[in-house]
Amino acid sequence: MTARILDGNALAAKVREDIATNARTLTEQGTQPCLAVILVGENPASAVYVRNKVAACEKAGFRSLKFTFAVDVAPEVVFAKIAELNADPGVHGILVQLPLPKHFNEDQVLEAISPAKDVDGFHAENLGLLLQGRKSFYPCTPWGVMKMLESENVQIKGAEAVVIGRSNIVGKPMAVMLLSQGATVTVCHSQTKDLAFHTRRADIVVAAVGKPKFLTGDMIKPGAVVIDVGINRLDDGKLAGDVDFDSAKEVAGLITPVPGGVGPMTITMLLANTLESAKRTAG
Ligand code: GUN
């Protein structure tokens, strides 16, 4: 059997069209959605992500502001910029690209962003609301995964779901979202003793570990839904996910590719959160 491929680019294009239509209406009513992005240092991957986010804003008819700081900038300078953006009613979303240089305390930076403008969904308040099943800004990558599952009518209620990875920005919120939709969720990580034991039982596997081609076909239950969150740069410059696509697609029922899977949905959900924030301020 060969898996059906879940095309993230196609779904993202559809959702972004909707977002752009909404943004146009809101702009005509006097509120143009606006995302402010802060980039510190010269991490090349971060620079690409930020460029893609700014381009996506412009394509959707949003205003975008980009602030770049040298790698050795004093944290107070960045905190002052965040405070200024928090106070600016024309700014609806604030995003500080991670990772930050070592002399920053990332938690403190994320906490400095007003929860009402935390369109990444990384603030402790928003993560807490998510945990309690209350309305918040959801972290974009796991929320994008939920949208992908929904678009394919994947049955989540009662499903065995395995999330590999326990980061604050993907693994943990992913597990909570699947749980809140009725899945039985297992979270695996680097200390898990027998990973394949868990993944072979899973109806839905989400891989978010950052190890290229790590989840192979023999670790997957026939017909399972396999979602690959990994974006790993190989020595030859090519991108690979956490899933060994070639072997996994022979076993899975539905699978996301890398690139062109979860990645485009992450930015799409960032736009969705920014639009939502703008709508809230517009009343
Ligand atoms: N670094 C890697 N992914 C992300 C993301 O989704 N948001 C931010 N702010 N930084 C990141």
pLDDT at 138 over 80: yes
Q: What topology does CATH give the domain 139-263?
A: Rossmann fold (3.40.50)
Residue 97 Cβ inside 6 Å of ligand 1? The answer reads yes
ipTM: 0.95
| The domains spanning 30-114 and 139-263 adopt the same CATH topology | yes
Q: Domain extents for the chain?
A: 30-114, 139-263
* Whether residue 1 has pLDDT greater than 80: no
* Cβ neighbours for 240, distance < 8 A, ≥ 6 positions apart: 212, 213, 230, 232, 234, 258
Q: What is the mean pLDDT of residues 247-268?
A: 97
Q: What is the pLDDT of residues 157-205, one digit of tens each?
A: 999 999 999 999 999 999 999 999 999 999 999 999 999 999 999 999 9
The per-residue pLDDT for range 81-136, each reduced to its tens digit, is 999 999 999 999 999 999 999 999 999 999 999 999 999 999 999 999 999 999 89
Q: Quick one: pLDDT at residue 155?
A: 98
Q: Is 157 a catalytic residue?
A: no
The answer on pLDDT for 24 being more than 90 is: yes
CB 231 near ligand 1, within 6 Å: no
**pLDDT confidence of 59, banded at 50, 70, 90?**
very high
Strand ranges (DSSP E) for the chain? 4-5, 34-40, 63-69, 93-96, 160-164, 184-188, 204-207, 225-228, 232-233, 239-240, 254-255
Share of the chain above pLDDT 70, in %: 99
Reply yes or no on whether 194 is catalytic.
no
Let me know if 7 is a catalytic residue.
no
Choice from 169, 233, 262 to test ligand 1 binding pocket (greatest atom count within 8 A of CB) = 169
pLDDT at 17: 98
pLDDT score at 96: 98
Classify domain 30-114 by CATH architecture.
3-Layer(aba) Sandwich (3.40)
- Ligand 1 and 276: CB distance under 6 A: no
Confidence of residue 76 (pLDDT cuts 50, 70, 90): very high
Q: Which residues are annotated as a binding site for NADP(+)?
A: 165-167, 231
Among the options 81, 118, 120, 203, which is catalytic?
A: 120
| Integer-rounded Cα radius of gyration of the chain | 19
pLDDT single digits (tens) 204-225: 999 999 999 999 999 999 999 9
pLDDT at 283 over 90: no
Mean pLDDT of the chain: 97
The whole-number pLDDT of residue 195 equals 98
pLDDT given for residue 108 in this prediction: 98
Q: How far apart are CA 115 and CA 107, in angstroms?
A: 13
Residue nearest to atom 9 of ligand 1 (CA): 97
**pLDDT at residue 105, as a whole number:** 98
Single-letter amino acid code for the residue at 268: T
The pLDDT of residue 144 is above 80:
yes
Ligand 1 pocket, residue 227 CB under 6 Å: no
Work out the average pLDDT over 227-255.
96
